[in-house]
Amino acid sequence: MEAKRQDLTNSIGLLVLRLGAGAYMMSHGWGKFLNVLKGEFNDKFDPIGLGPHLSLIGAATGEFLCALLVVVGAATRASAAVVVFTMLVAAFVFHAGDPWTMGAGKSKEPALLFATMFATFIFTGAGKFSVDGLIWPFLRERRARRKASGK
- Residue 104: which pLDDT band, with cuts at 50, 70 and 90? low
What distance separates the 2 farthest-apart alpha carbons in the chain?
Answer: 65
Query: What own/partner pairs with CB < 8 Å and gap ≥ 24 does 134-141 have?
Result: none
**Cα within 13 Å of Cα(15), Cβ side:** 11
Query: What pLDDT, in 10s, does the model give residues 111-146?
Result: 999 999 999 999 999 999 999 988 877 777 877 778
Query: What pLDDT, in 10s, does the model give residues 65-103?
Result: 999 999 999 999 999 999 999 999 999 998 888 888 876
Burial (0-12, 13-18, 19+ Cβ within 10 Å), 47: middle
Model confidence, pTM? 0.86
